[in-house]
Structure 1
Amino acid sequence: MADKVKLHYFNGRGKMESIRWLLSVAGVEFDEFHLTTREQYLKMLNDGDLMFQQVPMVEIDGMKLIQTKAILNYIAEKYHLHGNDIKERVNINMYSEGLMDLMEMIMILPFSEDPKAKLDNIESKAKERYLPVFEKQLMEHVYLVGGRLSLADVLLMECTLMLEEKFVGILADFRNIKSFQGRMSKNPAISRFLQPGSKRKPQPDDVYRKTVREVFNLNISFP
């Protein structure tokens, strides 16, 4: 029996949350090991576990993987969530990377000295640059690429829920995306992941922010 997948990250969303989503949708059980001190991080560095001195890090299939996109692509390939051919995969990757760009803007908000200004920018870009792309694609398609569930769909579900946490009603003019959300929420694995007590993390709080700052020794002044 293969060893259970191990996730090394903070006890919070960040870049690991998309990996949690994808593993859960694929039906893969995993354990989490949370970074809480700088000493833990330095030990990972000294042990050679972090190729570019970054987390998240995922232990899977005898490997220690870093870089979020590489990890997501590996999991998607392994569990048939990455399209049927090279053309489908490149489209999945384009949608996925756009979604990750948008989500990263939200991820850094807890570390911003002026979150209000950044929120206005995120809302504008979401409505004008990102959401119209997915609304158009979902006008005639159940899934974004290839007629079946893929990494891009999982990330779109995650991203739109994140947006709604920050901007109530942001999907009012994107009916196809809202319908997509409804369909996705009926997927048994996604439904379980959205229930209380799952491995889905809550929105970042002051404890998360303080821990990240201390682990990485970030000399940042927060309001």
Structure 2
Amino acid sequence: MSGKVVLTYFNGRGKMESIRWLLTVAGVEFEEVNLSNREEFLKLLNDGALMYEQVPLVEMDGMKLVQTKAILNYIAGKYNLYGKDLKERVMIDMYAEGVRDLMELMMMFPFIPPANKSTKLNEIESKATSRYLPVFEKALAGSQYLVGNQLSCADVQLFELTLMLEEKFPTILTNFPVVKAFQERMRNLPSIAKFLQPGSKRKPPPDDNYVKNVCEVFNLKL
């Protein structure tokens, strides 16, 4: 295997987007293989590339990495984005897993039947404003980062989450000024500013074509 980092997933955000973000902040160049049909997925299965028969798949450092959390933790640990000791790491994990809980609700939204979308949006907004954003608002009060005195993977994932939330709820951060200020600081990091520009490897919000692609590859019927 070459030294290149290769990401295998759909041509869309999903669980791979946080990995793209973290690699970008770490300054790691990567290539992508986009699954376009079920045959490509079945070939990965037949080749034994997917430990649990799931994507995302990240090939780096001579390994085929699966499971999103494991991948993110490996990248964070390798590139000094995972705290200075075990106590910081467990706090980073706690914040990051909270972020992912809310992200996963949003990732599933495009696959919800149209009749249920309004109810699901209300649920996401309610959980975001009552359960998750208050935690991050408190954690960032008087601090530049969620944990300790340096940037971590949890900060990167929280920034990604704030952007996702604002796509659905443009004013959602109005009552969370500390989180909003954090978001603006993160925007000014050179790697992030570049990734936010048109033409980067950042993926757009999921649309009907993305949903169709995922359903075809996994042989799903909505």
Q: Name the TM tier (shorter chain).
A: over 0.9
Deviation readout 1:3-32 (Å, 9 max, x if unpaired): 110000000000000000000000000000
AA in 2 matched with 1:91: M
Aligned to 2:107: 107
Rounded to whole Å, the distance in 1 between the matches of 2:65 and 2:53 is 12
Match of 1:66 in 2: 66
Q: Please report how far the alpha carbon of residue 61 of structure 1 lies from its aligned counterpart in structure 2 after TM superposition.
A: 0.3
Secondary structure of 1:55's counterpart equals: coil
Counterparts of residues 1-223 of structure 1 (less than 5 Å): 3-113=3-113, 114-220=116-222
Q: Shift in Å at residue 216 of structure 1?
A: 0.2
CA distance in 1, matches of 2:36, 2:3: 24
Q: Which runs of 5+ in 1 are unaligned?
A: none
**Amino acid corresponding to residue 93 of structure 2 in structure 1:** N
- 1:148 deviates by 0.7
Report the TM-score, using the length of structure 2 for normalisation. 0.98
Distance 1:65 1:119 in 2: 33
State the 1:115 CA deviation: 1.5
Determine the C-alpha separation between the residues in 1 that align with 2:121 and 2:107.
11
Count of residue pairs brought into register by the alignment: 220
- Matched residues in 1 for 2:149 and 2:178: separation? 16
The separation in 1 between residues aligned to 2:152 and 2:175, in whole angstroms, is 24
Output the CA distance in 2 between the equivalents of 1:109 and 1:148. Answer: 33
% of aligned pairs identical? 65
Shift in Å, 1:140: 1.2
Q: Deviations over 1:153-197 (max 9, x none)?
A: 000000000000000100000000000011101100011111111
The CA RMSD over aligned residues, in Å, is 1.0
Q: Deviations over 1:119-140 (max 9, x none)?
A: 1000000000000000011111
Shift of 1:63: 0.4
In 1, distance between residues paired with 2:110 and 2:66?
23
Is the deviation greater in 111-120 or in 38-47?
A: 111-120
| Deviation >6 Å, runs of 4+ | none
User: For residue 118 of structure 2, what is the amino acid of its counterpart?
Assistant: K
The letter for the 1-side match of 2:182 is F
